[in-house]
Structure formats: structure tokens, C-alpha cells
Amino acid sequence: MRKAEKESLNMDRNRKINKYIYLSLLVSLPLLTISFKSHAETYHGDFCWQILENEVPAWSYKLGVYEKEGGQYALYGTEDNGLGDITAAHGNAAVVGDNIKLIITGSGYTQEAGTWSETLNAMLSTSTLSGNWHVVGVLFDTSNTPQQYHSNGSIEPIACP
């Protein structure tokens, strides 16, 4: 083959490659500009609950409720211990018949108590959003001695601050 023929073949090949690149870009760019939501969700607003131990207010939650695909709910927000200490909290919920099974996890630190981590499980009525709860946790007090604890009581919806 002559040099001119080789150059012509290379140019044809490069044109074909460029043609495929442009075609690929032409097809993919519109797809890339579409906003995909692989995990579709619906925000239902902020919900707040008061936790009561022996009918005495103990702490409260303020949680944004997001409905995920499949009827599951994700909860993101804060826990207020009533003493001015606010920490992050998160959880999930599922509607089962006339009840809502709710799980909230949180952890935090205070100078007085030390570090703690706990999981609250609650069974709420779908009609009142109130019910009973149980919590299991661990506290590392200021001497770094781990102490397991558990408690229970009632949970009631309140107006969000």
C-alpha cells in the first residue's frame, strides 16, 4: 500500500470513530441531564414526639419523615434531652396493620453523664401516633465505665417547636 492509501484509510477510520463518539454523546447527553431518583421518596413533614417515663416528660424527638419506595419510612432529625442538649437522631418506621413500628437510634455526649448510645423501639397507633416504647442503651460515664440500661414508657405526639 502506498502512503496516500494508508492515510486515506486512517482518515476513514478516524471519521467512523468520531462519528460513533458524536452519536454516543448525542444519545447520552440528554439522558445525563435527566434527574434520576433511584430511591424515590416523599417528604411528609416534621413530626415531634414527647417521651414519657412514669408519665413524666423525659426527652423529645423532632424527625423529618420520608416515605420511601415500598412503603418504608426514613426518619432524620434531632433528640432534645430537655436540658438544652440536642443531638442527631435517625430511624425508620413501617406501617403494620393499625400500628406503626418505629425504631430511633441516637447517641451523644454531655459533661455530666458522659457518652451514650441507645435504640428506642416504639409501637404507635396509626390513628393517634401515640403508644409505648422500650429503649436499650449503653452509657460510658465520666470514668469510662460502660453501663447498660433499659427503660420503657409512653410516647405522645406534640407540636413541633
102 touches 124 (CB < 8 A): yes
155 touches 122 (CB < 8 A): yes
Distance CA 140, CA 145 (A): 5
**Of 124 and 22, the one with more pLDDT:** 124
What residues does 113 pair with on adjacent strands? none
Give the alpha-carbon dihedral of 143, 56, 158, 117, to 10 degrees: 20
* Mean of pLDDT values over 85-93: 95
| Per CATH, domain 41-158 is 2.40.128.30 | yes
Per domain, the residue ranges of the chain are: 1-36, 41-158
* Neighbouring C-beta atoms of residue 11, cutoff 10 Å: 10
For 106-133, write each residue's pLDDT tens digit. 999 888 888 999 999 999 999 999 999 9
**What is the pTM (predicted TM-score) of this model?**
0.73
Handedness of CA 126, 79, 52, 49 (dihedral sign): negative
For 26-54, write each residue's pLDDT tens digit. 555 555 555 555 557 899 999 999 999 99
